[in-house]
Amino acid sequence: MSEPIVVGIDGSEESDRAVRWAAAEAVLRERALHIVHALESWPYKAPLFKPAQSTERMTRAGHRLLTATRERIQEQWPALEVTTALVAEEIPQALHAQSDKAFELVLGSRGRGGFASMLLGSTSLRMAARPTVPVVIVHGDAADRGEVVVGIDLLRDVGAVLDYAFETAALRDARLRVVHAWQTFGTLIEAGYAVDGEQIERDLRAEVVQTCAPLRAKYPRVDVVDEIILEHPVTALSNASRNARLLVVGAHQRRWTAPRLGSIAHGVIHHARCPVAVIPSA
């Protein structure tokens, strides 16, 4: 069986949106859907603080949630292969283990237990910071129309990011907008340098075109728009997400310390208006 689409659920409205997005994605990519619900393992480790009856209730509730979710999804997509897993483990560890051999992992932007003012749930943020497969964070009601937007940094290896973006646009018969945002213009002026902004933009556009050339050849039917923007990347990509069905960015982890999400991806997944796919660094 091909690698499945894995989605984590917790019964929240956000996870309901995520599982619907994941199911549609699985159908589109002709893959199975694997639905995971994690029970935090602390009740099993601290019986003095959590009666056995409560643990059993949590387990039964978890099974009911998975069964109801699977039935709801199969009612809408009867041909879709759906499997489920109830895992007694800390949520991040459970999701990492369940998605280890997946094509991608899908999560809601927020879950149960967090403050309502938080723009992104801690689990989603942690999973996006340490991705081994693409992690899709579903914001609000995902649109099934619009562009696919990909943000690229020409100073990094963007092969995996572009591969995912082009394939996604091709599958959805969507326009692909390739965005490269830069901010050196103002810095150079302040330092006293004479800057030809138009020439810089032409050079950057030529580099973007060259970088995308192999994938344009591979996906000739994808309509590609190159956009070079003099703006902070988070602002540029967040604005582009308003008319997008999916925004694709690289994780760009900081490897010399504990795993942390790159600042651009971190900002984008907080402020985007559409689902965000975070692609692991090569």
Closest to 43 (Cα-Cα) out of 30, 28, 61, 56 = 56
Total domains in the fold of the chain: 2
> What does DSSP assign to residue 141?
S
Q: What pLDDT, on a 0 to 100 scale, did the predictor assign at position 254?
A: 47
**Residues 162, 95: one domain?**
no
* CATH number of the structural domain spanning residue 65: 3.40.50.620
Both 103 and 152 in a single domain?
Answer: no
Query: What's the CA gap between 52 and 183, in Å, rounded?
Result: 57
Cα distance between residue 120 and residue 204, in whole Å: 33
pLDDT at 35: 97
In a shared domain, residues 162 and 122:
no
* Confidence (pLDDT) at 88: 85
Residues 48 and 167 in one domain: no
Same domain, 20 and 81: yes
- C-beta separation of 106 from 21 below 8 A: yes
Residue 243 and residue 146 in contact, taking contact as beta carbons nearer than 8 Å:
yes
The verdict on 185 and 270 lying in the same domain is: yes
Identify the domain boundary among 85, 107, 138. Answer: 138
Q: Looking at the structure, tell me whether residues 177 and 238 fall in a common domain.
A: yes
Encode pLDDT of 22-36 as tens digits: 999 999 999 999 999
Residue 51: partners with Cβ closer than 8 Å, 6 or more residues away: none
Strand 5-8 and strand 104-108: the pairing is parallel
Domain CATH for 264? 3.40.50.12370
- Please give the pLDDT value at position 12: 87
Residue 231's φ and ψ, nearest 5 degrees, are -165, 160
What DSSP state is assigned to residue 243?
A: G
Co-location of 12 and 59 in the same domain: yes
Q: How many CB atoms lie within 10 A of CB 193?
A: 10
Residues of the chain with pLDDT below 70 are 1, 40-53, 110-123, 125, 140-141, 183-197, 252-262, 282
Mark whether 169 and 262 lie in a shared domain: yes
Question: CA torsion, points 235, 247, 162, 260, in degrees to nearest 10?
Answer: 70
Do 100 and 154 fall within a single domain?
A: no
Structural domain of residue 252, as residue ranges? 147-280
User: pLDDT tens-digit profile of 114-157?
Assistant: 433 333 356 676 777 777 899 999 986 677 789 999 999 988 88
- Considering 106, 138, 170, which residue would you say is the last residue of a domain? 138
First CA to last CA across the chain, in angstroms?
25
179 in the same domain as 89: no
In sequence order, the 6+-apart residues with CB closer than 8 A to the CB of 36 are 6, 7, 8, 9, 84, 85, 87, 94, 95, 98
DSSP 75: H
Are 20 and 130 in a shared domain? yes
Cα–Cα dist 274/234, whole Å: 14
Hey, how many other C-beta atoms are within 10 angstroms of the C-beta on 18?
A: 28
- Last residue of one domain, picked from the residues 81, 106, 138: 138
